[in-house]
Structures are given as structure tokens and as C-alpha cells.
Amino acid sequence: MDWSALAAELDAVGCVPTGPLLTAAQCQEIAELYGDDRRFRSTPLLLRYRAGDWNALHRDLYGELVFPLQVVIGLDAPGVDYTGGEFLLVEQRMRAQSRGGAHTLPRGHALIFTTRDRPTPSVRGWSASPMRHGVSTVRTGERHTLGLIFHDAA
């Protein structure tokens, strides 16, 4: 991976797709763990959305220390295993309308995104633009993702 290019896009947009990280077999193996409800926690790493499910725009800020980046990995094939369920990212721009984007997560691909803010050029140099993320309504099927949230909450 070209980490310099990934970092530049992350700064410019607030998120960046990595390309494939997991094989289809690895995705299936992880998705099979979702049948055990004991694996689900209040700060979920195993995310399962069924038809009609969605996730409101939010920021994952747990504990005193918050790592600036998060990762989400798609475990299913969009358009085949489910429809809808796009990853949403909204930037609250200073003195302007908020700007949103919808991202499809192909099976095995990851999206690195900012936990709280992204740097934006301003009159005085740089400002922090607040970012929030969520998931659009899943229309059909079931969508599984593996979320990596780095925090110090117990």
C-alpha cells in the first residue's frame, strides 16, 4: 500500500479506501462468528445490519483518550448479499453547509476514517472540521462489517 497517498486522501476527504485486505474465505470465517450474541458489546466491533436497519450519524468517542482513526472492513458483497447499507461520512464545514458522502464497502476491503475531525485549510492556517459517520438503511439482505475502534474505555 502507498501509505503517503492514503494519508493525503485521508487528510483531504476524511476517509480513504484501502483495497482488499481479507479474502472472501476470511470474510466468511469472521461473519460466521456473528451467530454468537455474546460477542456483541456496547462498543461493537462486530456490526450486523439486517433489512430495515441503519445507524445514525455519530462519533465513537469512548474514554479519556481517543485515537484519531478508525477502520471498518466489509465482510459481504454489496449488491449480492445486501442492498443499501452504504457507509456515510458527513463533514461539518465552518460557515458552510455540511457535506456528506456515501461509500460502498466491497467484501474484504477496508475504509480508514477519522474518529473526530479532519484538518481543513483556513484563513489562519488550519482548522478542525468535525466528522460524523453512520450507515444508510439496508434495503435487502444482511450486511456484516468488522469495526476497529481504538480507545481506552473498559
Q: What is the CATH number of the domain that holds 143?
A: 2.60.120.620
The C-alpha cell at 147 is 469495526
CB 15 within 8 A of CB 70: no
CB atoms under 10 Å from CB of 151, counted, come to: 16
The span from the CA of 113 to the CA of 133, in Å, is 9
Structural domains in the chain (count): 1
pLDDT per residue as tens digits for the range 55-90? 999 998 877 788 889 999 999 999 999 999 999 999
- Based on C-alpha coordinates, what's the Rg of the chain? 16
Buried-exposed string 48-63: b where 16+ CB fall within 10 A, e elsewhere: bbeeebebeeeebebe
Query: Measured in Å, how far apart are the chain's first and last C-alpha atoms?
Result: 32
Span 4-28, pLDDT tens digits: 999 899 888 889 999 899 999 999 9
pTM of the model: 0.84
The per-residue pLDDT for range 124-143, each reduced to its tens digit, is 888 899 999 999 999 999 99
**Dihedral (Cα; 50, 23, 34, 147), 10-degree rounding:** -80
What range does the domain containing 137 cover?
A: 3-151
The 3-state DSSP class for residue 32 equals: helix
